[in-house]
Structure 1
């Protein structure tokens, strides 16, 4: 940020209320998704606080959740006997996600 501020002295941060509202909105959406799912996959970076928080919100709601970077991170054993998988993404999720369904459980549908 310091380098950006030196180059662009007029740079302003968004109001903190906007950031908090966006985070609260994503977390509320996660709670709704979690109660309708048997498993939740959160796509994003393991380094992202937001993405990790979404995983925690699902776990707190009683729904197992895993953070994945793409479909290759999904383990077959997570999908055993699961019919409804909720999928969401943290704010810094990669722009292009691998949208293939993993093999092994023909009944489970993923994004």
Structure 2
């Protein structure tokens, strides 16, 4: 009886061996593809992480410069306003000299 069970087991193994081999091959291929995909995803993630870090550094540097440029703009605006006032005074003086010269 034990011998018959062994033979039945061998027959079942032989019948399903091709199927098992195909499944094993498919599983190995799937594993290899998943490993490659994981490598690609890690590389892409690393690229975005590096880019994000450098962008944050650039943004931080830019924000640090803002107060300096705000004070520059304020100073230039004040200088322009002073020049505008002087030009207006010169125009009035020129007009006064022109009208007095015509009399």
Whose radius of gyration is greater, 1 or 2?
2
Higher helix share: 2
TM-score (norm: length of structure 2)? 0.27
Q: What TM-score, normalized by structure 1, do the two folds share?
A: 0.25
Higher relative contact order (CA 8 A, sep 6+): 1
> Which structure: greater strand fraction?
1
